[in-house]
Amino acid sequence: MDRMLVVVFDKEAKAYEGRKALHQLDEEGGIAVYAYAVIAKNADGSATVKQTDDQGPFGTLTGTALGSLIGLFGGPTGLAIGAAVGLLGGSFADIDNTRIGEDFVDDVAKELLPGKFALVAEIEEDWTTPVDERMEALGGKIFRRALSQVKQTVNKEDVAAMKDDLAQLKAEHAKARADRQAKLKESIDRLDAKIKAHLEKAKARRVAARNQAKAKIELLKTKMKTKAAETQA
């Protein structure tokens, strides 16, 4: 099962030990690690990315479920990107892209207080015991949630409502006095742009999801080939 894993630690060194334990489990075949990041919660409430597997299948976390989740952990004060981490461009704090519920984010936020650190990873696991035993031994507080399917369409009711508003504005525009038509045209253009933005966002999300799925498959194939070569050697 494809899951989002967050393990909160009191010390930074423990978070790196947790990352090492994840990779050991991956090498042993117990789980598959697709992408990870170690983040720190700062005194002002922002979050700093300390380390990430930026060479992994996603290349950059921008636009991924993991990247969006990390962005949300920065809260209102935002996300500080470590100088050595190649996360550039795009918006991180996107609850739609996380593919998990807001309650999960809230639960983690209550534990991830200033001065604490978290290992955040997207993994594939058949059962939870291997990861739990390793993380609990390091003193980590574990949160996990299965990732939902990527939304294939935007909320149809929201778009339908906006289209109704657009139709009403156009009807008013057709009957309005000349001095009102300009203002109504501005409202029409804004709403039309908003509808298009909703549709484009959904399209971009679908494309990103397909690319990430392909990347995961290629990663698993590479690991299988590597293990087969090691066995033959």
Q: Going edge to edge, which strands form the sheet with 2-9?
A: 79-81, 47-52, 31-41, 117-125, 2-9, 141-146
- What's the mean pLDDT when you consider all of the chain? 78
Q: Which range scores top for mean pLDDT: 86-100, 149-163, 179-193, 202-216?
A: 179-193
Residue 206's alpha-carbon distances to 66, 117, 175, in angstroms, are: 16, 31, 40
3-state secondary structure (DSSP) of residue 63: coil
> 162-209 pLDDT, tens per residue?
788 888 889 888 988 888 888 888 888 988 888 888 777 767 766 766
> 4-49 pLDDT, tens per residue?
899 999 999 999 999 999 999 998 888 888 888 899 998 888 888 8
User: Tokens representing 84?
Assistant: 């050595």
Identify any residues that bridge with 122 across adjacent strands, giving them in sequence order.
4, 35
Residue 115 confidence class, pLDDT cut points 50, 70, 90: very high
Q: Assess contact for 170 and 44: CB atoms under 8 A.
A: no
Residue 211's alpha-carbon distances to 18, 81, 205, 215, in angstroms, are: 28, 24, 10, 6
Strands 117-125 and 79-81: unpaired
Among the listed residues 109, 141, 131, the one whose alpha carbon sits nearest the alpha carbon of residue 3: 131
Domain ranges of the chain: 2-148, 150-233
Between 76 and 201, the higher pLDDT residue: 201
Residue 224 confidence class, pLDDT cut points 50, 70, 90: confident
